[in-house]
Amino acid sequence: MPARSNDLALPTDTEPAIALRGIVKDFPLKRGAAVRALDRLDLEIAHGEFVAILGPSGCGKSTVLRLAAGLEQPTEGEVLVEGRSPAELIRAHRLGVAFQEHALLPWATARNNVALPFRVAGREVDRERVDALLELVGLAGFEDARPRQLSGGMRQRVAIARALALEPDVLLLDEPFGALDAVTRRRMNLELARIWMEQRITTLLVTHDVDEAVLLADRVVVMTGRPGRVLHVQQVEMPHPRGGEVTRDPEFHALVDRLTGMLDDPEPVAATS
């Protein structure tokens, strides 16, 4: 079963945290032509659920995340986050995001980078929370380091701490470990699993790494491209917390193999565009 936050009475527990309904997204090209990135896509994510979108590059999975983040507008259909439009959540500073590029401010220390959301929202910086977040992502002692002085993995940790700074309603992660080497990536996956266990924030992760998706998510959504559609939704029943031992579990491997097979040879979807 997907893990659910059970302590707080959520305002609208029956309503999904993120809802994308009948989404069509076209990108205009030159001379009036357009390319269809997403075609009638539906996706709902429950409160406290961790959903991974898995797919080959160019299948439109990042576009799904950018729609939820309010960085793109759908051509058709509606996007609701916490029952409101993403733009409203942005204005209320309720979204957290991390990209493949860490997008840290190179002139600011790790501490000031994590404090950025407070400043942008015009709130007083909660120094204790900033330091606690840096400790949570394993960067105690590196508070005053500049991004340039940190390794690639450490930079992504800072970016994730920044995304968590204002206790967002929704965490959006777009290939956050995509630029890391395989060893660091695996370690970061286990770290993220631990951090998520402590925070239990509704999370949407976009990735092309099958291991990463299965290790972290309650549900894996497999997408195909051109135009982007949902090919398959896979419930991952393994209980949290998932540590390194999970990756040696035969059940884990069976699941990874099945999903990998789908990516290699997607079932032909009737083209109706």
Partner 1 sequence: MSRVPGAALAPSRGLAAGGVLALLVLVEIVGRLGLAGPGWPPLTDVFGYVAKPSAQQLLGRALTATATAALAGFLLGGVVALLVAVLSALVPATGPGLERLAAVVHAVPLIALGPLLITTAGREATPTLVAALAAGFAVFVAATSALGSANDAQRDVFTVLGAGRASTLLRLQLPAGLPLIVDGLTLAAPAAVLGAVIGEWFGARRGIGVLLVSSMQNVQTDQLWAAALTAAAISLLAYVLLVALRGAVNRRFQ
Partner 2 sequence: MSIDALSASRRVPVAQEGTARPSPARLLTRSLGRVLSRYWTVAAFVVAWQLWSWLTGYNQIVVPPPAMVFGDVLGNIGAYLPDLGWTLAMSAGGLVAGMALGTMIAVVVWSSRIVSGMMTPVALVMRSVPVVAMIPVLARVFGYGWFTVLVITTVVSFFPAFVLVGSRLRAAPQATSDLMAVLGASRSTVLRLLLLPHAVPGLLVAFRLTAPTAVLAAMLAEYLMGGRGLGTLFAQSVSFHEVGRAWGAALVATVVSVACFVAARAVERRGTVRFS
In the list 43, 45, 47, 66, the residue contacting partner 2 (rule: CB under 8 A) is 66
Task: Print the SS3 string covering 210-225.
Answer: HHHHHHHCCEEEEEEC
Render the burial of 125-140: b for 16+ CB within 10 Å, e for the rest.
Answer: beeebbbebbebbbbe
d(CA 64, CA 71): 10
d(CA 157, CA 187): 11
Choice between 34 and 103, CB closer to partner 1: 103
Closest by CA to 177, choosing from 164, 165, 167, 191, is: 191
Question: Which residues within the stretch 71-130 sit at the binding site for partner 2 (CB under 8 A)?
Answer: 71-73, 75
By CB under 8 A, residue 122 contacts partner 1: yes
Choice between 121 and 246, CB closer to partner 1: 121
In the list 4, 119, 123, 253, the residue contacting partner 1 (rule: CB under 8 A) is 119
Angle formed by the axes of helices 182-199 and 152-164, nearest 10°: 20
By CB under 8 A, residue 57 contacts partner 1: no
By CB under 8 A, residue 110 contacts partner 1: no
Q: Residue 194 Cβ, how far from partner 2 at the closest point, in Å? A: 28
Render the burial of 213-247: b for 16+ CB within 10 Å, e for the rest.
Answer: bbbbbbbbbbbbbbbbbbbeebebeeebebeeebb
Q: Residue 147 Cβ, how far from partner 2 at the closest point, in Å? A: 21
What tokens does 213 get? 């998706």
By CB under 8 A, residue 121 contacts partner 1: yes
Kindly give the pairing relationship between strand 76-81 and strand 18-28. Answer: antiparallel
By CB under 8 A, residue 228 contacts partner 2: yes
d(CA 74, CA 37): 10
Judge contact between 100 and 57, C-beta under 8 A. no
- Interface with partner 1: number of residues (CB under 8 A): 28
By CB under 8 A, residue 238 contacts partner 1: no
d(CA 253, CA 65): 27
The item of partner 1, partner 2, none sharing an interface with residue 129, based on CB under 5 to 8 Å by kind, is: none
By CB under 8 A, residue 91 contacts partner 1: yes
In the list 105, 132, 182, 254, the residue contacting partner 1 (rule: CB under 8 A) is 105
By CB under 8 A, residue 254 contacts partner 1: no
The item of partner 2, partner 1, none sharing an interface with residue 90, based on CB under 5 to 8 Å by kind, is: partner 1
By CB under 8 A, residue 60 contacts partner 2: yes
Choice between 4 and 127, CB closer to partner 1: 127
Q: Residue 253 Cβ, how far from partner 2 at the closest point, in Å? A: 28
Looking at the DSSP bridge assignments, the partners of residue 206 are 53, 174
Judge contact between 43 and 204, C-beta under 8 A. no
Contact footprint for partner 2 (CB under 8 A): 27-28, 32, 35, 37, 57-63, 66, 71-73, 75, 225-226, 228
Contact footprint for partner 1 (CB under 8 A): 66, 69-71, 90-93, 95-97, 99-103, 105-107, 116-117, 119-122, 148, 162, 172
